C-alpha cells in the first residue's frame, strides 16, 4: 500500500471526524468530551477540557452564545443538550483555577489595542506562546463590553479575577491610552513587531487604515490583515448591535494565529480551511435512541445544580459513527474502527524486516463479507483493504502458511482425483447446460446433489453436463493469485471443452467468483432454474413441507447484492409451505458464517465466537458495539457453509436443497447437526462415485494402504480433532507409520500407544490402542514446529 492509498482509505472512515457541536463551535471546544465528563460528575476534568480551547473560560463559559446547541444531534431525538447551561454549571461548581502555561519567552513584541473579548483573546493566546504583550485600553479598566452583562450572569469579581491573569503572565497594561490620537495607530505600528486592533474599542482613530465600500475598516477575511503590514484587526459588534461573545473570541483567535504566522514568517493562509465553524462529515445514527426533553433547572436564575447538570449531560448520545463495528464482531474484537485499522495494516506492511508484524492475524481474519461497506456512509470495505494486504504479504513472502494451509489443502482435495470431474450427461455428447454444484455443497449433501442433477436432466433439454470442482474462492481469499488463476483456468478449459454451456450454480460464492472473474460464462442459480422448470412437486415428503411453519432465512453474505436470488429462495420456501421471517441482518445486510475470507482458518476462535453470537441469545453482551438478533425459529440456509456452521453451533438449520431433494424420507434435516472435515471429503468422493456410476464408468479411485485402517473414536474425540483441523486420514498415517516402524511410546498406566508423524508442515500426535477391527483413537493433537531431534 502506498502512502496516498492509505490516505484515501483513511479519508473514507469518518469516525474521527468531530461531532456537530465541536465542528459548529467557532473555536472547536471539545463539547462531546466536556459533556461526557459533566455526565460522569467529573466537573474539574470538564473544566480542564473547556480551558484547553477556551480563553478566560470562567468568563466565556458564562456568556457564550452557544452556536453548538442548534446543531446538536440530540435535537433529532428530543431536545438538544443545553451545552451553554452545562458550561455555566461546571464553572460555578469547579474549584479548578485557570493556569497560564507558557512557552519560552520570545523577543517579539506585540501591541494589542482594546480589551474587548477579541483583544483579550489575542493577548491570552500570544502570551501563552511567549510573545511580549502590551495592551492599550482607553478606559480605566480592562474588559470593555464585558461590564455590560448583568451581575447574575457575569459577576464583576469574575471579570477582575480572570483578567488579572494577563498581568500574572507578564502582559504590560496601559490604561487610559489615547487611542483617538491621529498618530496613535501609526506610532504603535512603527514601534511593535505586530499589532492587533480590536475594532470594538471606543474612540479609535482608524484613519490610517483603508476602508471597504461600506466605510468600515477593510480586513482580509481569512487572516484579518489590514492595509498596514503586520497590523491585524477584528472584533466589531454585529450589525444588529447584539454581542456574539464566541464570535469575538474567534476573531481574536484567528488574529492571534495570523500574528504568530506573520512573526514566524510562515505561510499566512495554508491549512486554515477548518478554522471557525465547518460542516463535519461525521455520521451518527440515532435510530432506536429514545427521545428525551431538556432537564429543566429548578432555579431558573442560577441554572443547573450539579445534580441537574449530571442528568442533563446524561442525555448526550456522544456522537460517533461506528456503524460497521455495530454489525461486525471482527471489527469489534480488535477494539478500533476502519481508519485506525487502515493505519495498522499500512504499518504492518511497511515494517522493516525482522521487527514485529503484529497485524498479520488481523489482516487474515476478515471474512471479506462486505457488510461494513453496505452500512458505511462512505462505503469503506475492510475486505478490500485486507485482501490487498494479503496479496502483498504473499508477494513479499510474509504470509504465514498456517493462516490458510488447511483451507488450501481442502481446495486441492476438491480439485484432485477424488472429486474433480467434468462430463456430459450420460449418453450424450454435448451440453447446453453445465451443473456446478460446488465442492462444499457436495461435501455436506452427497445424496441431494446427484438427485438434483437427475432432476435437471429430466427437465432441461440439450444435455446437462456436470462439473465437480472448487471455483478457487479459498485461493482468492488467501491472497494466492497463482492458485486462484490456476483453479479458474481449469474451470475455463473444461467449460470450453464442454462447448461453453450455460452454467447452473448451487453455491452463491462460486457464482460470484465466475461473475467477477469470468464474465463470458453465463450463470444462473439452481434456485432460479428450478423456479423456471418447476419445483420437484410431489417429491417433497410431507414431513418436510412447511405446513405454515416459520423459518428465518439465513441469507449468505455473498448474496447481499443479489436480490433476485434472495427472492427466488423465499418464493420457493413459501411454495413449500413455509412462512418466512427476515432476520434484521438479511437482504443487503447478511453476516458471514465464519467461512468467508477463510476467517475459520486464520482465526478459528473468532469464527467460533461469531457463529455463537449468531445462534445464541446473550443476556449480557460481551462486545462493545456489536449486537446481533437471534431468531427462535429454525434457520433456512442456501449456502452449504452457512448450513454447516450454523448447525455446528447447535442451531436447527436446513439447507434448501435438503427440502427440495430429500435424501431420506421422513428425516428431519434441521436436526442433522455438524459434520467433520473428514466426512466432507468422503462425501465429495461419494458424489463423484455416484455420478460415475450413472455414467457407467468405474468409480472409487485407488486407496492408499493406510486409508483402509478402521478407526473407532467417541463423538467427543471426533469433535475435538475436527476443531484442531486434524483429519481421520492424518491419524491413519500416524498409526500406519507407528505400527510399521515400531516408533511409538507406551503408557505404563493405560497401555495406550502414543506416536507422531510430520506430514507436510504439521506434526500430528495420536494416542491410540488396538481394537477389534482396527484402532481406538483416544486423543490427537498437532503442532507446526519442526522437531529436529535430541541434542547430544
Partner 1 sequence: MSNQPEELPVWSCASCGKPLEVVKVAFTYMKGNFEVPLQACPACGLVMIPEELAMGKMAEAERILEDK
Residues that bind partner 1 (CB under 8 A): 354-361, 400, 402-403, 724, 742-749, 753-754, 756, 765, 779, 781-791
Contact 68, 83 (CB under 8 A): yes
Smallest distance from partner 1 to CB 765, Å:
7
CB of 390 to partner 1, least distance (A): 14
Min separation Cβ 770 and partner 1, Å: 12
- Minimal distance, residue 404 CB to partner 1, in Å: 12
Beta bridge partners of 217: 211
DSSP string, 192-207: SSEEEEETTSTT---T
**Which of residues 696 and 787 has its CB atom nearest to partner 1 in the complex?**
787
Phi and psi for 741 in degrees, rounded to 5? -90, -20
For partner 1, the closer CB: 294 or 391: 391
Question: Least Å distance between CB 574 and partner 1?
Answer: 47
Q: Which is nearer to partner 1, 199 or 757 (CB)?
A: 757
> Closest CB to partner 1 among 123 and 757?
757
Q: Is 780 helix (H, G, I), strand (E, B) or coil?
A: strand
Shortest distance, CB of residue 783 to partner 1, whole angstroms?
A: 4
Q: Is the four-CA dihedral 484, 489, 490, 495 of positive or negative sign?
A: positive
| Chain centre to alpha carbon of residue 55 | 37
Query: What is the nearest approach in angstroms of partner 1 to the Cβ of residue 8?
Result: 26
Nearer to partner 1, 635 or 753 (CB): 753
CB 335 within 8 A of CB 624: yes
Find all residues with CB under 8 Å of 574, minimum gap 6, and list them.
580
Identity of the residue, 152 or 358, whose beta carbon is nearer to partner 1 in the bound complex: 358
CA 120 to chain CA centroid, Å, is: 44
Q: Are 177 and 202 in contact (CB under 8 A)?
A: no
Which is nearer to partner 1, 567 or 763 (by Cβ)?
763
Q: In 576-697, which ranges are continuous DSSP H helix?
A: 599-602, 604-615, 640-648, 656-660, 677-694
Query: Which CB atom, from 352 or from 703, has the smaller least distance to partner 1?
Result: 352
- Phi, then psi, of 133 in degrees rounded to 5: -110, 130
653 within 8 A of 635, measured Cβ to Cβ: yes
User: Which CB, 460 or 777, lies closer to partner 1?
Assistant: 777
| Residue number, 402 or 612, with CB nearest to partner 1 | 402
Of 288 and 751, which CB lies nearer to partner 1 in the complex structure? 751
Helix axes 405-414, 481-497, angle to 10 degrees: 10
User: What phi-psi label fits residue 742: left (phi over 0), alpha (psi between -120 and 50 degrees) or beta?
Assistant: left
Smallest distance, partner 1 to C-beta of residue 521, A: 37
> Residue written as cell 475435538?
720
- Shortest spacing between CB 400 and partner 1, in angstroms: 4
Q: Which is nearer to partner 1, 9 or 403 (CB)?
A: 403
Smallest gap, in angstroms, from Cβ of residue 787 to partner 1?
Answer: 6
What is the closest distance, in whole angstroms, from the C-beta atom of residue 350 to partner 1 in the complex? 15
Q: How far is the CB of 62 from partner 1 (least distance, A)?
A: 54
Nearer to partner 1, 578 or 753 (CB): 753
Cell numbers given for 504: 447452473
Instruction: Give the closest residue to 606 by CA, choosing from 322, 327, 328.
Output: 328
User: Read out DSSP for 673-741?
Assistant: ----HHHHHHHHHHHHHHHHHHTT----PPPPGGGG--EE--HHHHHHHHHTT--HHHHHHHHHHHHHH
Phi, psi of 782 (to 5 degrees): -155, 165
Nearest distance from C-beta of residue 747 to partner 1, angstroms: 6
| Burial per residue of 271-280, b for 16 or more beta-carbon CB atoms within 10 angstroms, e otherwise | eeeeebbeeb
The Cβ of residue 713 has, within 10 Å, a number of other Cβ atoms equal to: 20
Q: Which three cell numbers stand for residue 546?
A: 412447511
Amino acid at each position: 500500500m502506498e502512502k496516498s492509498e492509505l490516505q484515501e482509505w483513511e479519508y473514507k472512515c469518518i469516525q474521527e471526524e468531530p461531532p456537530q457541536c465541536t465542528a459548529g463551535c467557532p473555536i472547536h471546544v471539545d463539547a462531546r468530551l466536556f459533556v461526557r465528563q459533566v455526565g460522569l460528575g467529573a466537573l474539574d476534568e470538564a473544566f480542564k477540557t473547556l480551558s484547553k480551547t477556551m480563553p478566560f473560560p470562567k468568563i466565556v463559559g458564562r456568556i457564550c452564545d452557544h452556536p453548538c446547541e442548534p446543531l446538536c444531534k440530540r435535537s433529532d431525538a428530543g431536545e438538544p443538550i443545553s451545552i451553554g447551561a452545562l458550561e455555566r454549571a461546571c464553572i460555578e461548581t469547579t474549584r479548578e483555577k485557570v493556569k497560564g502555561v507558557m512557552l519560552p519567552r520570545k523577543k517579539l513584541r506585540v501591541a494589542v489595542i482594546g480589551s474587548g473579548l477579541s483583544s483579550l483573546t489575542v493577548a491570552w493566546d500570544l502570551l501563552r506562546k511567549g510573545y511580549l504583550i502590551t495592551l492599550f485600553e482607553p478606559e480605566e479598566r480592562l474588559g470593555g463590553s464585558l461590564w455590560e452583562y448583568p451581575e447574575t450572569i457575569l459577576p464583576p469579581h469574575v471579570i477582575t479575577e480572570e483578567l488579572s491573569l494577563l498581568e500574572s503572565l507578564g502582559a504590560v497594561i496601559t490604561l487610559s491610552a489615547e487611542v483617538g490620537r491621529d498618530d496613535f495607530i501609526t506610532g504603535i505600528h512603527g514601534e511593535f513587531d505586530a499589532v492587533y486592533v480590536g475594532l470594538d474599542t471606543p474612540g479609535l482613530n482608524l484613519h490610517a487604515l483603508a476602508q471597504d465600500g461600506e466605510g468600515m475598516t477593510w480586513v482580509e477575511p481569512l487572516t484579518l490583515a489590514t492595509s498596514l503590514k503586520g497590523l491585524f484587526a477584528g472584533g466589531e459588534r454585529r450589525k444588529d448591535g447584539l454581542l456574539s461573545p464566541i464570535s469575538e473570541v474567534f476573531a481574536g483567535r484567528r488574529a492571534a494565529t495570523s500574528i504568530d504566522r506573520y512573526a514566524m514568517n510562515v505561510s499566512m493562509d495554508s491549512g486554515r480551511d477548518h478554522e471557525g465553524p465547518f460542516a463535519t462529515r461525521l455520521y451518527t445514527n440515532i435510530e432506536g435512541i429514545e427521545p428525551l426533553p431538556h432537564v429543566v433547572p429548578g432555579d431558573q436564575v442560577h441554572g443547573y445544580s450539579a445534580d441537574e447538570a449530571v442528568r442533563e449531560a446524561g442525555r448526550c448520545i456522544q456522537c460517533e459513527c461506528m456503524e460497521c463495528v455495530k454489525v461486525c464482531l471482527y471489527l469489534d474484537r480488535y477494539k478500533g474502527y476502519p481508519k485506525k485499522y487502515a493505519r495498522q495494516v499500512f504499518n504492518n506492511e511497511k515494517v522493516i524486516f525482522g521487527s514485529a508484524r503484529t497485524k498479520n492475524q488481523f489482516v487474515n481474519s476478515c471474512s471479506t463479507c462486505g457488510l461494513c461497506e453496505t452500512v458505511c456512509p462512505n462505503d469503506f470495505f475492510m475486505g478490500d483493504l485486507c485482501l490487498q494486504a494479503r496479496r502483498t504479504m504473499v508477494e513479499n513472502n510474509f504470509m504465514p502458511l498456517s493462516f490458510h494451509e488447511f483451507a488450501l489443502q481442502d481446495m486441492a482435495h476438491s480439485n484432485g482425483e477424488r472429486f474433480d470431474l467434468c462430463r456430459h450427461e450420460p449418453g450424450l455428447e454435448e451440453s447446453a447446460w453445465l451443473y456446478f454444484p460446488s465442492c462444499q455443497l457436495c461435501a455436506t449433501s452427497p445424496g441431494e446433489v446427484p438427485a438434483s442433477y437427475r432432476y435437471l436432466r429430466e427437465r432441461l433439454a440439450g444435455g446437462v453436463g456436470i462439473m465437480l470442482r472448487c471455483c478457487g474462492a479459498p485461493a482468492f481469499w488467501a491472497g494466492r493469485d497463482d492458485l486462484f488463476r490456476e483453479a479458474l483456468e481449469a474451470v475455463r478449459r473444461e467449460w470450453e471443452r464442454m462447448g461453453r454451456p450455460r452454467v447452473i450454480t448451487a453455491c452463491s460464492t462460486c457464482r460470484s467468483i465466475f461473475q467477477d472473474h469470468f464474465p463470458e460464462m453465463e450463470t444462473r442459480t439452481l434456485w432460479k432454474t428450478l423456479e423456471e422448470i418447476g419445483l420437484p412437486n410431489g417429491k417433497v415428503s410431507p414431513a418436510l413441507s412447511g405446513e405454515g411453519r416459520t423459518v428465518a432465512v439465513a441469507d449468505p453474505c455473498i448474496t447481499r447484492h443479489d436480490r433476485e436470488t434472495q427472492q427466488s429462495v423465499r418464493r420457493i420456501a413459501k411454495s413449500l409451505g413455509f412462512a418466512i421471517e427476515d432476520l434484521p441482518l438479511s437482504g443487503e445486510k447478511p453476516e458471514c458464517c465464519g467461512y468467508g475470507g477463510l476467517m475459520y482458518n486464520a482465526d478459528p476462535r473468532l469464527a467460533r465466537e461469531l457463529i455463537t453470537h449468531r445462534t445464541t441469545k446473550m443476556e449480557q453482551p460481551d462486545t462493545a458495539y456489536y449486537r446481533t438478533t437471534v431468531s427462535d425459529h429454525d434457520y433456512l440456509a442456501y449456502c452449504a457453509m452457512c448450513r454447516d456452521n450454523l448447525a455446528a453451533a447447535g442451531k436447527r438449520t436446513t439447507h434448501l436443497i435438503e427440502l427440495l431433494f430429500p435424501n431420506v424420507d421422513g428425516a428431519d434435516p434441521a436436526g442433522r447437526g455438524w459434520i467433520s472435515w473428514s466426512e466432507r471429503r468422503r462425501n465429495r468422493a461419494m458424489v463423484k462415485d455416484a455420478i460415475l456410476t450413472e455414467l457407467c464408468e468405474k468409480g472409487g479411485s485407488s486407496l492408499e494402504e493406510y486409508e483402509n485402517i478402521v478407526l473407532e473414536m467417541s463423538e467427543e474425540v471426533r469433535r475435538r480433532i475436527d476443531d484442531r483441523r486434524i483429519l481421520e486420514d492424518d491419524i491413519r498415517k500416524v498409526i500406519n507409520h507407528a505400527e510399521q516402524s515400531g516408533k511409538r511410546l507406551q503408557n505404563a498406566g493405560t497401555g495406550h500407544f502414543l506416536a507422531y508423524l510430520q506430514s507436510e508442515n504439521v506434526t500430528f500426535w495420536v494416542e491410540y490402542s488396538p481394537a477389534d477391527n482396527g484402532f481406538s483413537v483416544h486423543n490427537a493433537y498437532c503442532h507446526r514446529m519442526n522437531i529436529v531431534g535430541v541434542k547430544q
